[in-house]
Amino acid sequence: MSLIKNLSQVKTLGKMKSKKDPIYIFLHIQKSAGTTFGFHVRHNLRKEEYIPGYGNRFFYNIKTKKRDFCDGKNKFLNYINSLNQEQKDKIKIVFGHQVFFGIHKLFNRPAIYFTFLRDPTKRMVSMYNFRRGKLLKLSGRSLYKTRLDKFRLERLKNTFLANNKMPSLYEWCNHVFRTDNSGLTPGMSEFLKMRGFVDGEISKNSLRKALDKFDYVGITENFDEDSLYIYHELGINKFFPNQLASKKYYALRNYKKTKEKLSTLLKKDLFLYKCAILANRKFKKKNKNYGKIIEDMKEVKQKFNNSAYGKSSNFFFTYLSKLEKKNRFTLDLSDIAKEKLFRDFVPVL
């Protein structure tokens, strides 16, 4: 049974003819496995079947059939509005950081919103490691810096460094929660509010209602299984290793101690995460076919991993990951660069 049939109510504002296939809308919350999910979408669906919504990144323009650049929310919205109805009807999913509640009104179809939430403590440690690594890599690009590199480097300097010095995890957390107004707000609760899922002030009640706007809430710690359900709905049958694993400048050796130190700053996110776990469990309990779908998808995944294509792709990403961890790359590979290398290395079967 598909997700659209399992849900008691689909997010539709206004009356729509529900015979059309639903549009899937994925809010990518930073450092919650969204990059891995997006990679699967791009390598399973045709270019005209998805729209990535990320600021300051290149994307494939369905209308012009050329590479284009998205510099923020306005460009993202203008792009969607520029598509004709036939082009919009081919879209299966819209995903990214720029996704906001209400975007489904741009499509004359039922909508399914979903996201993944992560343990707040682990997520903050991961974000710290990611941004610190990004800053160091961009700073080390002495021979070749694009305008986008320079923009990202300056933004990271302004939002990551504390008094122009490399901060510890705790210094960064205290600094960034109080001063970051760059749109890189690290808190999951604040991010939901920025994207229109939280109405009014952030409170326990408004966070509960925010989660109610999602048809499915996955848990990052259970991503390998929770993602299979969405992959099933989208018809994804090729699988790849997790993407964007960060070098551990801060190793989370004592989770309990770190959580206690950050508990005050992460109070809202900790509550949100607990609610997300309950919502996830409730969904699985309510949908009787969930277990069977997961088991079937595990078999599909196993068959793919045992295929020549699956073995080649896994080898490629394992090797790439080892090189990155050893800092063998002087240039930080972008998503587009990795995908080009991947397509050159592993032919499409």
Query: Rounded to two decimals, what is the model's pTM?
Result: 0.86
Asked if residues 229 and 290 have their Cβ atoms less than 8 Å apart, the reply is yes
Helix H or strand E encompassing 308: helix 308-325
Per-residue pLDDT, 6: 41
The model's pLDDT over 201-218, given as tens digits with 9 standing for 90+, comes to 999 999 999 999 999 999
Domain boundaries in the chain? 3-119+190-345
pLDDT exceeds cutoff 80 at 277: yes
Helix H or strand E encompassing 266: none
The model's pLDDT over 40-93, given as tens digits with 9 standing for 90+, comes to 999 899 999 999 999 878 889 999 999 898 888 888 999 999 999 999 999 999
pLDDT exceeds cutoff 70 at 123: yes
Give CA separation, 66 vs 9, 59, 62, 92, 125, in Å.
37, 9, 7, 20, 37
